[in-house]
Structure 1
Amino acid sequence: EHHFNPPVDAQSSIAQMTMFIAVVCTVIMGISRNMTNMILGLMTLQLRFAFEYSTGKCDVRQEAVLDQIPSTIETILSKFNLDGKKTILAACPNCHFTYYPSYKPG
């Protein structure tokens, strides 16, 4: 049910589109997370330049849009609820069999 109310819905349409492009780069195109973070930074910088073009500075509304754009793809994936649940397993160095974690009380 958490997929029906993604946190990204609260963002501006400009921020949503920027984040969506970053998701496409990583998930669909297979671009590495580091490269996607660089592309994300360049898109944010380009938006800032576009906002500053006519007046030389961003107004409050434009700054708010820029503040909505995260700097990492990991944060964006969580806003789209695409950051799956993870379980870290242990692997035997000899046979490579994987074991689920077990916790002992105390």
Structure 2
Amino acid sequence: YILDHYFAKEVDLFHEVAQVAMFLSVACSIIMGLSQRSGDFIVATIFILLKSLAFSNSKEELTPLHAEILDQLPRQLATALSKFNLDGQVTNYAVCPSCHSLYAP
């Protein structure tokens, strides 16, 4: 097995706020056992909350730093999982429905 990809995490290159937002969405999804669709909802909700509550100012537009942080946030759970290298390396096999034998691709 090649395990090098587990030790180089792309998430380390992101701003701390983006890291926390991604971690929150990934942790909620994994701990609660949510589906992909529910995980995408959590990711989108975190994005909207950060954009509307934390970074909005009634007098000004987003600062360049806030815009950069929002650009770093994923829009789907699969993207957040990939930033933590949690998406895995999967090989799909065909299974015979009658004898349950596995067939490699």
| Same fold, TM-score > 0.5, yes or no | yes
Shift of 1:18: 0.4
Q: 1:23-102 alignment to 2 at 5 Å?
A: 23-49=26-52, 50-101=54-105
In structure 1, the gaps of 5 or more residues are: 102-106
The share of aligned pairs that are identical, in percent, is 40
Residue matched to 2:15: 12
From the superposition, tell whether residues 54 and 6 of structure 1 become closer, same or farther in structure 2 (CA, over 3 Å): same
Output the aligned Cα RMSD: 1.3
Q: Deviations over 1:16-66 (max 9, x none)?
A: 000001111111221222112111111111111121135342111101000
Count of residues in correspondence between the two structures: 101
TM-score (norm 2): 0.87
In structure 2, the gaps of 5 or more residues are: none
TM-score (norm 1): 0.87
